[in-house]
Structure 1
């Protein structure tokens, strides 16, 4: 192919593209100029003419919200628009209640329905205000969220965003209710578990105490049985000694009808609880007087091992014993006796 033809075709193609690019740039420039003169500039002039205004995008301000005007109802349109502009600059779109841009603009529309500045401001800032309401929902400030949604509904009741916000608010409320219910159920389960642990411990302690009391009772019964056997053996020995004594002699008149006291009723001593718990054993030796009527009197501790552990139990038991009193010349007389009482487990 002829190279001259190829170069000619390339130059022809570049020449065709350049007019198209230039035409596109001219169209874009014309549209930008038309937007400026037909939309942006008239809107700015209208804002300046009404001594108020609104931004499309709120400007953040680090200042705290000023107190609300004292008498909003008595304010003029220009004053309301000025307060609304200040609230917008400080990002007080929906809060605090009574001192936010939406309430001021809505008040303007009450005084002058169809006010273009208020209408445009509410329409353009609606998405930003909806975002602020969504943040209140996410923070679970349900009362404030509902108030802000109601305020948005006054500005644009047919906006679909309200349906989304109401659904999110309802979902957050249900989620919080579930979380609170789960927390309440968990707390109740913990309380029931704690109560069961206390009840189980009390039952275990009661059972252990019953077993300890039963063991102590069995030990007391065994001790009392041993003591009874000891007393019976002592009585038998004393009776045998009395029977073997001389019955007559050259001075039989002095010894006739004389015999020692004989035990007829003995009461086993109570094993001290403290000694039983500590598995402690011992003995007590007593001296006492058997009166002419067979009762025991003037009981004294002669010796004991260990001291002061079994003394009281031994004295209480011996005091309740009954004897057939000793006799002299056939008549009952008082006599003295010593007795050792063993305490063994």
Structure 2
């Protein structure tokens, strides 16, 4: 046979095989797709429905959970499984209380212990329920978290995840207690600081008022002493003039005259009277001895009584006189004096 004819035949055969291979692959793909849509997917949907669905199934945001059945205890097994599947589809795994998938599946197991559908659904959804309980712990909804943990414990009491959840719940409770205690301590410290500030201000105001009052009393006392000194100086000048006139009249003969004041001590204004802005006067009677000293000072009258008496007696007791003369001889004498106490 001609070699060229053999090569041409082989090339023709290879060109004819390619469309056939493509057609076979296309037919296999179509059969696989048909098997998926007609056999495999319906079977998976049926299995998912029987198991209560999968927690990761998307749920529209506007779906509203139906109210809980009126009498769960009286529901049949099929009714409980149907309610459980409905709750799973609406992602009501553990909440709300009395209307969630876990409680319906647990009721189904109470009616039929070992029910495979309920047992498998609880086992498969346990991790998702644990996540829900952990979120409640992190949100510090402690009552709801405890309820969900207890519900998980009914489904799988030996699961180690429960130990972790309980530890987190206890830690969050203790953390909240510490935060509340710190907040309470801070509030108490703020209240104490505010009370101390008020007390300190009141004490400062009182001290300032006392200092102002003392300063005013000192100023009034100085003014009173200055007026008393002026009065004593005037009184001292008047007896001196009288004595000079007497000396002139008695020139060439024996001298007779009254006692003459030579040293005048102003009275001290009582501090209590100065603080209460009291004024008054005291009339005293006293004896001037032959050596010019004052003694036997007695209060005759005073207004107000017993306020300025001691100050008047002390002041008069310090006065000095030239004694009265009778025919040139010093003699003792008595005098009556009124002492004024005024602030202005």
Q: TM-score, normalised by structure 2?
A: 0.59
User: CA distance change for structure 1 residues 164 and 174 in 2, over 3 Å: closer, same or farther?
Assistant: same
CA contact 2:92–2:101 (8 Å) conserved in 1: yes
Partner of 1:23: 28
Alpha-carbon shift at residue 106 of structure 1 (Å):
0.7
Equivalent-residue separation in structure 1 for 2:202 and 2:38 (angstroms): 90
Aligned residue number for residue 305 of structure 1 = none
Shift of 1:148: 0.4
Take 1:287 and 1:54, find their aligned partners in 2: how far apart are those partners? 111
Q: How does 1:84-103 map to 2 (within 5 A)?
A: 84=84, 87-88=87-88, 91-103=91-103
Which has the higher Rg, Structure 1 or Structure 2? 2
Query: Does 2:303 match 1:321?
Result: no
Q: Any conservation in 2 of the 1:68–1:98 contact (CA below 8 Å)?
A: no
Q: CA deviation at 1:63?
A: 5.4
Deviation at 1:242, TM superposition (A): 4.7
| Distance change in 2, residues 1:183/1:331 (3 Å) | closer
Q: How many residues align?
A: 304
Whether the 8 Å contact between 1:291 and 1:297 is mirrored in structure 2 is: no
Q: Deviations 1:156-214 (Å, cap 9, x if unpaired)? A: 45667656655654564465455445534543553454355445535544553454355
Does structure 1 retain, via aligned residues, the 8 Å contact 2:217–2:275? no
State the 1:224 CA deviation: 4.8
Alpha-carbon spacing, 1:269–1:241, altered in 2? closer, same or farther (3 Å): farther
The answer for the alignment partner of 1:139 in structure 2 is 139
Aligned-partner Cα distance in 2 for 1:218–1:340: 15
Question: CA 1:88/1:159 → structure 2, altered by over 3 Å: closer, same or farther?
Answer: same
Q: Which secondary structure state, in structure 2, belongs to the residue aligned with residue 95 of structure 1?
A: coil
Contact 1:266–1:318 at 8 Å: present in 2 too? no
Tell me, in whole angstroms, the C-alpha distance in 2 between the residues paired with 1:340 and 1:43. 112
Q: Are the equivalent residues in 2 in contact too, given 1:68–1:99 (CA < 8 A)? A: no
CA contact (8 A) 1:291 1:334 kept: yes
Change (3 A) 1:185 1:317: closer
Whether the 8 Å contact between 2:229 and 2:265 is mirrored in structure 1 is no
Superposition deviation, residue 141 in structure 1: 0.3
Change (3 A) 1:298 1:33: closer
Kept in 1: contact 2:282–2:308 (CA 8 A):
no
Q: Which residue of 2 aligns with 1:35?
A: 40
Per the alignment, do residues 164 and 244 of structure 1 end up closer, same or farther by CA in structure 2, a change over 3 Å counting?
Answer: same
Structure 2 partner of 1:222: 222
Q: CA RMSD in A?
A: 5.4
> Which residue of structure 2 lines up, in the alignment, with residue 240 of structure 1?
240
Distance 1:122 1:342 in 2: 100
Counterparts of 2:122 and 2:166 in 1: how far apart (Å)? 19
Alignment of 1:225-304 (within 5 A): 225-246=225-246, 267-269=267-269, 272=274, 295=299, 297=301
Deviation at 1:111, TM superposition (A): 2.6
Cα offsets for 1:248-293 (capped at 9, x unmatched): 78xxxxxx77679999875344585598xxxxxxxx9x99977798
Do the aligned partners of 1:266 and 1:320 also contact (CA within 8 Å) in 2? Answer: no
Alpha-carbon distance change, 203 to 39 in structure 1, aligned in 2, over 3 angstroms: same
Gapped regions of structure 1 (runs ≥ 5): 48-52, 250-255, 276-283, 300-311
Q: Taking structure 1 as reference, are residues 75 and 198 closer, same or farther at Cα in structure 2, changes over 3 Å only?
A: same
Aligned to 2:64: 62
Query: Is 1:297–1:319's contact at 8 Å kept on the other side of the alignment?
Result: no
Distance 1:41 1:341 in 2: 115
